[in-house]
Every structure is written in structure tokens, then in C-alpha cells.
């Protein structure tokens, strides 16, 4: 088998043991890597119903056949576990040197089981694994922890670490790496914290097995140069992801005041142009020639990296239109290791719930100073408010009652990304059916939808586009594993990816082969879901209720008086199920699972939920 190391590292923190386990070529070609490996491993190894924050949960770090190989934007890794936020399979994708180092150490994935007795750092160097004390940095933030590791092992080491958020089991704690990278929105950082695992450090020295290393080197390095040239021409990295903010504001798609409004007169103060003007430095992931991480000085003078999601959800969504203050909130999320997106939506929900009278409190939209304090309380689970905020918006809404769940901006427990879909049906569907909850990673249809279709349409073409994007984004890029931005932002052809895959593996795959694996993965995540929520119905695939509420419609602008129609959304959802071959509950039937090669997995799921 070429293209994969063929090995998974299994570490048990309770027993302080580790072993190298091999996998077959069939496993490799069925699941490719990254998210594919993670869904299969966690399905086979986790008993449904376990506490995501208990020692039975497992953390998977998984790479793909092109991870770590010099080629466009391959310095990414998938981190996955049963999510403490959503209660079923959850994952994230972050830029990290671990991608290259773990593969050079001889592994395509690692599984971390059990729970350490004391705060621990795992040190992996080729075949060696050490269980080292991390007591010195327990209680410290991610910047200090990263520096501490670099001080010991040098800046070339691959590092994953958590901050106080992960330690204190905040349900939306992320894992951090390098200067500005963060991943694992559904609380994968809290899973690390629950295991008393502060950091994972990896160094590897072996060659990554490839069918045609010389050909891959020439192809990959040549293509990195081409992507560099394309970026220089397009100028996308001048504003990077925050380029989209001004557009969202213009098309009435910006989250403002807990998604109550879709645009704001002061949005220009936090847009991409302002971000570029305030730029202090640029950071990015390994193997990237279009680095997109723009840092600015925050209100307190610290360097903070701002992407669109961070600005949209910690800025406009909280009615904060001061870029330095948004930088401060973002810095705190990075330092504590909290997901900026869920943190932003949780704070905006709290302010909204206070305004609606569903709870009492002293937080108002626009109050950046109080927002900073609330992030500190949440990260440390300090007091009643800190403990509440650490639970995320859905659990808070259930605690508050008063119909506040309607404006808790989440799907399946995961907070919505920064696209206000009051009247953007395709993007609303994409949030509804995203595999792990409302993440834009899966299908960012909004740009296609607003440029190429009418906003009024709830037709089958939108469901088809969502599936196409899920296959590309949630399937191929998450399994190979590589960053999708060269394709999205620079127009780098998708055809390049099977080319890389074939060069490293010696196989002869097409994009259609990639889509088959993607469909298998989506079906498998549904099986994860129904094992945990056997009563699952199509309502779980609905976006937040407030988007269907006529009284919440904009009073002016391009979508004045309009909102999503619930019956039409239901039809659109049905188109999605029909095209995927799912039943009316949104669950793949046994015949489809058989075709996807998942009969054994279907039989396992049937112990918990009825399959058609």
C-alpha cells in the first residue's frame, strides 16, 4: 500500500500505554483518511450513550494521503470525538505542523483513550511516546502553552494544545495550534481537557510513503508556485476571509444583534478593507502560499488574528463595530481556547434573552467590556453566569424557557456560522443538513445562490447544489486532507486533487470516486446521530425557528417583509432527502446503506433505531 503509512497510533492515558496498529488497504480506500477515518473509528469504538466528557470518549487526530506533502495547502489535520456540545460525532479542521510531523513519525492517525491521572503532555517522536507532566502550564492559556512547548522542542515541532476553556470543559472549547490556528468547534478541546491532556507534541523523521515521490515533488512544488501567482493576481489575501463581510452586509446576510438584523450602517468599520489597513502581520498554515491569517493589534495592544467568522459573530452579531474591541474578544477566545463562533452566538443569545425577559442579567448588545468579562467567566466556569455560558446557547435556552430556543442560533446544538439566512433558503438548508450541526464548512451555497438563482426559489436545484458542495467540502477536502481555499478563492481546479491522490497512492481515481466516499461518510454520520438520538425526525434538520418568523422580518432593505416559509423549507428539505435517497426522517434506508458498503454498520445502528 502506497500513499498511506498504514499505521494508527493508539495511546491510552489511563494505562500510560501505546501501540502501533496497522490498517488494511481496504480500510484506506473505503475511507481515504481524515474525517473518513475518524467517523469509522469512532463508530466502531464508542458505545452510544457514553458521556462525551468521560474517559470512554476518544480523541482522534486524522490525516489524509496528501497531508503534510508539499502541495497546495496540505498542512491541515482533522480532530474528532463525540461532541460535548451536540452529543454525537463532531470534528474540526485546523492548520498545524502535526499534519506533516505525525505522518513523518509513521502514522496516518492517532487515537487517544482514557484519562490521565495528572495534567499531561504527550510527546511523540517517531516510534517513541512519552507521557510527560503538563502541571507547569495547567491553568495557562494557549499562547503560553505553545511557547512553553516551543521552548522545549523548537518551533518545528507539531503542537496541539488547549487553554482554560478546554480544561474547564466548556462545551465549545477548541484545540489550538501555531500562532492563530483553531479547530474542533463542537468542543473537541473540552474532550482533551476531560482527559487532562494539555498538549500533544509530535516530531517525525521518516519519509512519507508515496508511489511516485519524485513526480509528487515536482507536481506539488510547481502547483504551490502557481497558487501563489494566482493569489497575487486575485489579491484575495489582502482582505482574506473578511472580504465577505461588506458583501454580506450589502445582500442582507450579515448577522447583527443575534441575527435579528441583516445589515448595519457601521459594518464598514469592521470590514476587510479596515482589517487590511490595520494589519500587523500575516500568518498561515504549513505548505501554504496564500497565507490568509491577518493579525491586528487589539484594544489592549495584543496581536489577534481575525477571520470573517470571528468578526461576524464577535463583532456585528454583538453590535460591536470597533475592530480593536473585536480583536480583543477574538484574542480572549484564542487564549482561552474557545470557539469564536459558538462563543459569539452564545453571548448574543444571552443579550437577546435578557432583552426578551427570558432571564435577568447585566449584558447588553454593544458592551464589549462586559463581553470580555463574560468570556473570562465562561472559560473558567466561574459563578452561575460562567457555568451557564459554558454550556452553549441550546442548553441555556432550555434552562431559560420562555420559548427562547426560537432565537438560540444553532442547529443540533452547534451554533450557526455568520450568514444570516432570514431569506436565503439554500444556505438555511445547508445549515440544517450540515453533518455535525450548523457549520459553513459543509456547503457554503450562499454565494452561488445569491449570484445565480433567485432568492425566492426553494427548488430542487438548491438541494442538488448543497449535495455537490457537501461532497467537495465535507467529503473530499476533509478526507485528503487539505485546505479548500485554493479552490474557492483562487479557482484552483478540483481536478488537481485526484491527480495528487493518484500520484501518492499509485491508484487511478476520478472525482466521482471521491464523491462515493463522501456519500458514505455523510450516511455514516447519520448513523452516529440516530444511535444517539433514536427519535430523530426531520425537525432536527431545520434551522433556527426565528428565520421562519414573519414578525422578525427586516423592515427595510432588499429583503424587507420577507422571511423563510416553513412549508417551502420543508419541501426543499424533501428534495434534499429524495436526491440523497434518504427516508422522510432524513435517514438513509438499509438498501442505500448496503450500496454504500455499510450493511454491518446499519445492523449495529438497528439496535438503537429503526431503519427502513
Binding site for ligand PTT (CB under 6 A): 76, 92-95, 174, 180-185, 241, 285, 305, 307-310, 333-334, 338-341, 441, 477-478, 483-485
Residue 477 binding result from ligand SF4, ligand PTT, none, given CB thresholds of 5 to 8 Å by partner type: ligand PTT
Residue closer to ligand PTT (CB basis): 6 or 253: 253
Q: Rule CB under 6 A: is residue 95 a binding residue for ligand SF4?
A: yes
Among ligand SF4, ligand PTT, none, the one that 546 touches (CB under a kind-dependent 5 to 8 A) is: none
- The continuous run of DSSP H or E covering 165 comes out as helix 164-167
* Separation of alpha carbons 99 and 605, rounded Å: 32
Among 292, 476, 525, 609, binds ligand SF4 (CB under 6 A): 292
Q: Residue 399 Cβ, how far from ligand PTT at the closest point, in Å?
A: 24
Output the smallest distance, CB 68 to ligand SF4, in A.
12
C-beta of 48: minimal distance to ligand PTT in Å? 23
Which of the stretches 138-146, 152-160, 188-196, 280-288 binds ligand SF4 when contact is defined by CB under 6 A? 280-288
Please tell me whether residue 73 binds ligand SF4 under the rule CB under 6 A. Answer: yes
In the structure, how many helices (H) and strands (E) does the chain have? 25, 17
Rounded least distance, CB 610 to ligand PTT, Å: 32
- 259: alpha, beta or left? (left if phi > 0; alpha if psi -120 to 50): left
Q: With contact defined as beta carbons under 8 Å apart, do 65 and 480 qualify?
A: yes
Which residues between 549 and 588 bind ligand SF4 (CB under 6 A)?
none
In the complex with ligand PTT, the residue whose CB is nearer, 59 or 564, is 59
Q: Taking CB under 6 A as the rule, which mask of x and - marks residues 478-517 in contact with ligand SF4?
A: -----x-x--------------------------------
Min. distance of Cβ 74 from ligand SF4 in angstroms? 8
Judge residue 417's burial from the number of C-beta atoms within 10 Å of its C-beta, 0-12 exposed, 13-18 middle, 19 or more buried.
buried
Q: Which does 498 bind (CB under 5 to 8 A by kind): ligand PTT, ligand SF4, none?
A: none
C-alpha cell at 582: 434518504
List the one residue out of 87, 55, 89, 190 whose CA is nearest residue 398: 87
With CB under 5 to 8 Å by kind, the binding choice for 400 among ligand SF4, ligand PTT, none is: none
Q: How far is the CB of 87 from ligand PTT (least distance, A)?
A: 17
113 φψ region: left (φ > 0), alpha (ψ -120 to 50), beta (else): beta
- Element containing residue 9 per DSSP (H, E): strand 7-12
All three cell numbers of 210, joined, read 508515496
Q: Are 414 and 557 a contacting pair, CB within 8 Å?
A: no
Q: Name which of 288 and 358 has its Cβ closer to ligand SF4.
A: 288
Closest CB 305 distance from ligand SF4, rounded Å: 10
Query: What is the Cα–Cα distance from 326 to 410, expressed in whole angstroms?
Result: 22
Q: Which is nearer to ligand PTT, 12 or 73 (CB)?
A: 73
Residue 131: strand pairing partners? 122
Q: Show the cell assigned to 125.
A: 517522536
* Closer residue to ligand SF4, CB minimum distance, 74 or 86: 74
Q: Is 202 helix (H, G, I), strand (E, B) or coil?
A: strand
Phi, psi (5° rounding) for residue 433?
A: -105, 10
Q: Where are the alpha helices (DSSP H) in 407-510?
A: 425-433, 446-452, 460-469, 478-480, 485-490, 496-505
Task: Pick what 290 binds: ligand SF4, ligand PTT, none; C-beta below 5 to 8 Å, kind-dependent.
Answer: ligand SF4
Nearest distance, CB of residue 12 and ligand PTT, angstroms: 25
174 contact, one of ligand PTT, ligand SF4, none, CB 5-8 Å limit per kind: ligand PTT
Per CB under 6 A, the segment of 265-273, 287-295, 308-316, 467-475 that binds ligand SF4 is 287-295
Quick check: 158 binds ligand SF4 (CB under 6 A)?
no
Q: Cα(430)–Cα(468) distance, rounded to whole angstroms?
A: 11
Give the nearer residue to ligand PTT in terms of CB position, either 422 or 484: 484
Nearest-angstrom CA–CA distance, 205 and 112: 22
CB of 159 to ligand PTT, least distance (A): 13
The residue among 6 and 87 lying less far from ligand PTT, judged by its C-beta, is: 87
Angle between helices 35-45 and 511-532 (to 10 degrees): 30
Report the SS3 class of residue 543.
coil
Q: Min. distance of Cβ 488 from ligand SF4 in angstroms? A: 9
Which listed option, ligand SF4, ligand PTT, none, makes contact with residue 284 (CB within 5 to 8 Å by class)? ligand SF4
Q: How far apart are CA 484 and CA 486, in angstroms?
A: 6
Whether residue 142 contacts residue 176, with contact meaning beta carbons closer than 8 Å, is answered with yes
Q: How many other CB atoms are found less than 10 A from the CB of residue 385?
A: 18
Min CB(473)–ligand PTT separation in Å: 7
Output the CA torsion sign for 228, 230, 233, 235: negative
288 binds ligand SF4 (CB under 6 A): yes
DSSP for 475-497? IIIHHHT--SHHHHHH---TTHH
Rounded Cα gap, residues 306 and 566, in angstroms: 35
Measured distance CA(311)–CA(376) in Å, rounded: 19
Give the residue with the Cβ less far from ligand SF4, 458 or 497: 497
In the complex with ligand SF4, the residue whose CB is nearer, 95 or 158, is 95
Q: Candidates 97-105, 265-273, 282-290, 412-420: pick the segment binding ligand SF4 (CB under 6 A).
A: 282-290
Which residues contribute to the site for ligand SF4 (CB under 6 A)? 73, 95, 284-285, 288, 290-293, 483, 485
Amino acid at each position: 500500500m502506497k500513499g498511506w503509512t498504514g499505521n494508527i497510533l493508539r495511546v491510552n492515558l489511563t494505562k500510560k500505554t501505546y501501540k502501533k496498529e496497522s490498517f488494511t488497504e481496504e480500510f484506506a480506500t473505503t475511507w481515504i483518511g481524515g474525517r473518513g477515518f475518524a467517523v469509522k473509528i469512532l463508530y466502531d469504538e464508542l458505545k452510544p450513550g457514553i458521556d462525551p466528557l468521560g474517559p470512554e470518549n476518544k480523541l482522534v487526530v486524522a490525516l489524509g494521503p496528501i497531508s503534510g506533502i508539499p502541495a497546495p495547502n496540505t498542512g491541515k489535520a482533522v480532530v474528532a470525538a463525540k461532541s460535548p456540545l451536540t452529543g454525537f460525532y463532531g470534528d474540526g479542521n485546523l492548520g498545524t505542523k502535526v499534519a506533516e510531523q505525525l505522518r513523518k513519525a509513521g502514522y496516518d492517525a492517532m487515537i487517544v483513550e482514557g484519562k490521565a491521572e495528572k495534567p499531561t503532555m504527550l510527546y511523540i517522536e517517531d516510534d517513541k511516546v512519552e507521557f510527560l507532566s503538563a502541571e507547569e502550564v495547567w491553568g495557562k492559556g494557549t499562547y503560553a502553552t505553545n511557547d512553553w512547548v516551543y521552548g522545549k522542542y523548537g518551533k518545528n515541532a507539531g503542537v496541539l494544545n488547549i487553554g482554560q476553556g478546554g480544561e474547564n470543559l466548556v462545551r465549545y472549547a477548541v484545540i489550538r495550534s501555531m500562532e492563530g490556528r483553531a479547530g474542533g468547534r463542537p468542543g473537541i478541546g473540552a474532550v482533551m481537557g476531560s482527559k487532562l491532556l494539555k498538549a500533544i507534541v509530535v516530531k517525525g523523521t521518516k519519509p512519507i510513503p508515496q508511489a511516485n515521490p519524485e513526480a509528487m515533488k515536482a507536481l506539488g512544488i510547481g502547483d504551490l508556485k502557481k497558487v501563489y501567482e494566482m493569489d497575487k493576481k486575485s489579491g484575495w489575501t489582502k482582505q482574506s476571509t473578511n472580504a465577505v463581510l461588506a458583501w454580506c452586509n450589502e445582500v442582507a446576510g450579515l448577522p447583527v444583534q443575534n441575527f435579528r438584523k441583516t445589515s448595519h450602517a457601521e459594518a464598514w468599520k469592521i470590514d476587510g478593507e479596515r482589517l487590511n489597513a490595520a494589519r500587523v502581520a500575516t500568518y498561515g498554515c504549513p505548505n501554504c502560499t496564500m497565507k490568509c491569517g491577518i493579525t491586528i493589534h487589539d484594544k489592549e495592544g495584543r496581536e489577534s488574528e481575525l477571520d470573517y467568522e470571528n468578526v461576524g459573530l464577535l463583532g456585528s452579531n454583538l453590535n460591536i463595530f470597533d475592530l480593536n474591541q473585536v480583536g480583543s474578544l477574538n484574542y480572549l477566545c484564542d487564549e482561552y481556547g474557545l470557539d469564536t463562533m459558538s462563543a459569539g452566538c452564545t453571548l448574543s443569545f444571552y443579550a437577546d434573552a435578557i432583552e426578551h425577559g427570558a432571564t435577568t442579567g447585566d449584558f447588553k448588545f454593544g458592551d464589549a467590556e462586559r463581553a470580555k468579562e463574560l468570556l473570562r467567566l465562561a472559560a473558567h466556569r466561574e459563578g452561575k453566569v460562567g457555568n451557564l455560558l459554558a454550556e452553549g446557547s441550546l442548553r441555556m435556552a432550555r434552562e431559560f424557557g420562555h420559548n427562547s430556543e426560537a432565537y438560540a442560533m444553532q442547529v443540533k446544538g452547534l451554533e450557526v456560522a455568520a450568514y444570516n439566512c432570514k431569506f436565503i433558503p439554500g444556505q438555511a438548508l445547508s445549515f440544517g443538513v450540515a453533518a455535525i450541526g450548523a457549520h459553513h464548512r459543509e456547503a457554503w451555497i450562499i454565494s452561488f445562490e445569491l449570484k445565480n438563482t433567485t432568492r425566492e426559489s426553494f427548488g430542487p436545484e438548491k438541494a442538488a447544489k448543497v449535495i455537490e458542495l457537501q461532497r467537495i467540502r465535507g467529503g473530499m477536502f476533509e478526507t485528503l486532507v487539505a485546505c479548500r481555499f485554493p479552490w474557492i478563492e483562487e479557482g484552483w481546479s478540483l481536478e488537481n486533487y485526484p491527480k495528487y491522490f493518484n500520484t501518492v497512492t499509485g491508484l487511478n481515481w476520478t472525482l466521482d470516486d471521491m464523491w462515493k466516499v463522501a456519500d458514505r461518510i455523510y450516511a455514516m454520520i447519520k448513523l452516529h446521530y440516530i444511535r444517539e438520538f433514536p427519535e430523530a425526525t426531520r425537525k432536527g434538520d431545520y434551522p433556527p425557528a426565528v428565520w421562519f418568523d414573519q414578525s422578525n422580518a427586516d423592515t427595510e432593505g432588499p429583503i424587507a417583509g420577507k422571511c423563510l416559509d416553513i412549508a417551502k423549507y420543508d419541501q426543499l428539505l424533501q428534495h434534499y432527502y429524495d436526491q440523497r435517497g434518504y427516508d422522510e426522517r432524513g435517514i438513509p434506508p438499509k438498501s442505500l446503506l448496503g450500496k454504500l458498503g455499510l450493511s454491518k454498520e446499519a445492523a449495529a445502528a438497528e439496535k438503537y433505531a429503526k431503519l427502513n
